Homo-oligomer: A and B are copies of this chain.
Amino acid sequence: MDKARQYFNCNARERACFEAGIKLATVYHQFVGTPVSMENVETLERAIEKGVKIQPFVKEVTVKIDRTRLREKSDEYDYLTLTGSMLHVLLKIVYENVEVIAEMRYIKEMDYPLMMIKEIRES
């Protein structure tokens, strides 16, 4: 049971989409700017996943950071900070009988890290 339900004026599908949007923007706006190199990229991916996982109604989440742009640390300045276009996030929200699969990934033709709803399922 969702103890916040009284504050919402929408159906379960709409609610699940709303929650999906919240989580994708959390990843983007919380973690963009974090220092990242080959040395910490995997730890950072797992930490982002675990941070999102404890938010309401998240059942699964996978975060991949594009390694092709990362540097091996050869001097003190050889690292980047995370940008939206390096992020690929896939997550599943479950709210009541509704599952939403949402994704964030860089769309080359738009030159934009797009957050999108891939699928809504009802059981």
Interface residues of A (CB under 8 A from B): 2-4, 7-10, 13-15, 17-26, 28-37, 39-40, 43-44, 46-47, 50-57, 73, 75-77, 79, 81, 83-84, 102, 107, 110, 112, 114-120
Q: Which of B4, B19, B50, B114 contacts A44 (CB 8 A)?
A: B50
What is the oligomeric copy number?
A: 4
Shortest beta-carbon distance, A8 to chain B, in Å? Answer: 5
A25 in contact with B14 given A35-B55, A81-B84, A107-B7 (CB within 8 Å): no
Shortest beta-carbon distance, A82 to chain B, in Å? Answer: 9
Contacts of A25 in B (CB 8 A): 21-26, 29
Considering the complex, give the chain B residue whose CB is closest to the CB of A110: B77
